[in-house]
Amino acid sequence: MLLQLRKNAIAMLSILMAFSFTCLNSTQAAAADGSEILKQVDRNLQPDAYEMYRKLINVEPDGSKKEFVLYSVKKGQDKMAALFLSPASEKGRATLRIGENMWLYIPNVGRPIRITSLQSVVGGVFNNSDILRLDYSAEYNAENLAEEGDSYVLDLKAKTTAIAYDRLKMIVDKKTVLPTTIECYAASGMLIKTLYYKKPKDFGDGLIRPSVLETDSPLYKGYKSVMIYAKIKKKELADEVFTLNYLSKVDELR
């Protein structure tokens, strides 16, 4: 009797271990697949080093709008600079991001000051980390991958606490491997905002990607912000372009 019980216990333990091992393997496999998909999303959204023109539009509940035009340059996974070309009240302002370090240069102030990813230099729903967005794979690990019809659903977790959003739920179109919707969550689990990628466009040089990014937020009920991409082009850039000394001179790159 005792022997039989021991045999059963060993058999049960073996089954449990086998099940755990299978689950662990499948989670790791999903994460590995998720990481690959995330890297592919980054490659499909932008070249490694490029220049870009964007328009940001903040729309208020009554329909009134405020527009900003930015010229941006990016190199590698963690360097990006953006210069305001319009409106006149913002013209000449420039922001720089190196990893999680962010600075804002205001011509009148005449020197860069450190800013944080959660602030917004333009007001509205887009914050600084949205405007100076690095590669998703540079900031997030894919923790889970699921499939829903024509889409992948990626659960992403921030690599450090310095990232603006703790978790992302990214819906990726299987065919184009481009994001369609991204939900951004705080560490508390609260939904901060939702990003919608729309209107795919051929930017040339083999780059076909969404040309419009819209966002709304339960924290800004009735408000909407839109980003329109007009030009994304590969560009050779020196590392020294992404330094504080160069911030006042970004316009010379155009």
Partner 1 sequence: MSSARSCIFFSFLGLLAWFSVFIFSTCRADEEFSFNLDEFEKKPLDWGGYVELKWNHAKINRDSVFLQLNPADDSDSSLDQYSGTLQFDGSYNLKSSTFNWLAQASASHDDLGWYDVADVFEAYASLRPTPLATISLGKKSYKWGKGYAWNPVGFLNRTKDPNNPEESLEGFITAEADLVKSFTGDLQTVALTTVALPVVEHINEDFGETYNVDLAAKLYLLYKDTDIDFLILLGNSQSERFGFDFSKNLATNFEIHGELAYIPNQKQVTLQEDGSLLRGEESALSSLLGIRYLSESDVTSIVEYYHNGSGYSEEEMGNFYQLLAEGNAQFTTAGLNDQLNTARELSLQGYGRPQPGRDYLYARITQKDPFDILYLTPGITTIYNLRDESISLSPEVAYTGVTNWEFRLRYTYLEGNSLTEFGEKLNSSKLELRIRYFF
Structure-block tokens of residue 123 = 């007001």
- The three-class DSSP label of residue 244 is helix
CA–CA distance, 148 with 211 (Å, rounded to integer)? 24
Q: Which of 43, 66, 201, 234 binds partner 1 (CB under 8 A)?
A: 66
Q: Which helix (H) or strand (E) holds 16?
A: helix 2-45
State the amino acid at position 210 in one-letter form.
Answer: P
Asked if residues 179 and 186 have their Cβ atoms less than 8 Å apart, the reply is no
Among residues 41 and 125, whose Cβ is nearest to partner 1?
125
Question: Which of these ranges, 13-21, 38-46, 111-119, 173-181, lies near partner 1 under the rule CB under 8 A?
Answer: 111-119
Among residues 47 and 112, whose Cβ is nearest to partner 1?
112
106 is an interface residue for partner 1 by CB under 8 A: yes
Question: Which of these ranges, 7-15, 39-47, 177-185, 228-236, lies near partner 1 under the rule CB under 8 A?
Answer: 228-236
Closest separation in Å from C-beta 28 to partner 1: 30
CB atoms within 10 A of CB 106: 15
CA–CA distance, 82 with 94 (Å, rounded to integer)? 6
86 is an interface residue for partner 1 by CB under 8 A: yes
CA–CA distance, 61 with 216 (Å, rounded to integer)? 12
Q: Return residues touching partner 1 (CB under 8 A).
A: 53, 55, 57-58, 60, 62-64, 66-67, 69, 71, 85-89, 91-92, 98-102, 106-111, 113-114, 116-120, 123-124, 161-164, 212, 220-223, 226, 228, 230-231, 238-246, 249, 251-252, 254
